[in-house]
Chain A
Amino acid sequence: MQCEQVADRLPQIVDGGERAAPGVLAHVDSCLRCQAELVQYRKLLKALRTLRTDVLEPAPGTLTAILASLEAVGERGAMRSLLNGRRAAYVGGIAAATAAAGAAGAIVLASRGRRKMRLAG
């Protein structure tokens, strides 16, 4: 295996995320240049990990802007649930009225039927 071929694999295997082919490992074991390159990749990963604890101070107004947009979302949500509640009340009212009208109609029809039967008898 040539250094160029191995160099392409080094960024993949540096963190152990991918298993190196035996040929790559054998080459690295015997090649000082590739060993040095692998060491440099390890240094890079170590340096990148240190950035995790390097927290920046947010630009002024960031927190206020976030809280304001959350407030707006909360208000919209409250408004939506209020409207949904009213819609449910309207739908419920209409359903109740329809049911009551249906029942009244049925009673009227039934009583007319009985009267007709009495007259016929």
Chain B
Amino acid sequence: MALDLAELVTAAKAGDKAAFTTLVEATTAEMYTLAYRLTGNVEDAQDVVQEAYVRAYKGLKKFRGDAEFTSWMYRITANCANTHLVRSSRHRHDAMDGTEELTDERPGPESRLTSADERSQLNLALQSLSPEMRAVVVLRDVYDLPHEAIAAELGISEGAAKVRLHRARRKLRERLFPLRGEEHTDEEDARAV
């Protein structure tokens, strides 16, 4: 039987803790997936998703219910991931030049897929983007969040969000769907980094 998230939200807002727990159980995998896509790292994804649910719990009374609970959670997760990435980039003093590779070398959940898999290629291409570009393209083109919401959660202007999106799309297109004459090898990618 499909869960009615709206009913659970109403119950949780009225103070039903079990209803909130059921909401968490029903949506954890989706939020974890988004957090993993934004951070590219298992441990960071766990931290982000944990913080996102705590924020949601504290702010549940403010949730007006005019959006779906999952869309609201996507926004909170994106905001937490952004805060997390800013904090860790300050900590590591990483250069964000748009082509950096992620440092987590442990196999992530997607490594279960074969390298020939199109989705795996897509995920790898996403991971090759800078966290800033990746966040915008994932939130817009995968999760369909409006530009306005993306800009608000990432703390940037709508114009900046659009510029990042278009650059990200271009990089992904060149990598995954190159035109004749644009094909390049992994060695070239490595040299570019």
Contact = CB atoms under 8 A, between A and B. Distances in A.
Interface stretch (A22-30, A55-63, A92-100, A102-110): A55-63
Contacts of B177: 40-41, 43-44
Interface stretch (B2-10, B82-90, B94-102, B168-176): B168-176
A3 B179 CA distance: 13
A67 interface: yes
Contact of B169 (A14, A33, A49, A51): A14
Contact-residue bracket for chain B: 35 or more
A119 interface: no
Contacts of A18: 162
A34 B58 CA distance: 50
Contact of B54 (A47, A54, A55, A73): A73
B54 A11 contact: no
B25 interface: yes
Contacts of A17: 147
B144 A52 contact: yes
A56 B122 contact: no
A66 interface: yes
Contact of A56 (B33, B137, B141): B33
A79 interface: no
A50 interface: yes
A17 B30 CA distance: 26
A57 B30 CA distance: 9
Interface string B152-193: 000000000010011101101100111100000000000000
Interface residues of A, number: 36
A11 B169 contact: yes
A66 B45 CA distance: 12
Given A40-B173, A57-B29, A69 B54 contact: yes
Contacts of B53: 66, 69-70
B130 interface: no
Contact of B24 (A44, A45, A70): A70
B71 to A, nearest CB: 12
A64 to B, nearest CB: 10
Interface of A: 11-12, 14-15, 17-18, 33, 36-37, 40-41, 43-45, 47-52, 54-59, 61-63, 65-67, 69-70, 73-74
Interface of B: 17, 20-21, 24-25, 28-30, 32-33, 36-37, 42, 45-46, 49-50, 53-54, 57-58, 109-110, 118-119, 122-123, 137, 141-144, 147, 162, 165-167, 169-170, 172-173, 176-179
18 contacts: A12-B162, A17-B147, A18-B162, A37-B173, A41-B177, A44-B177, A48-B137, A48-B172, A51-B122, A51-B123, A54-B33, A55-B29, A56-B36, A56-B110, A62-B32, A66-B49, A69-B53, A70-B57
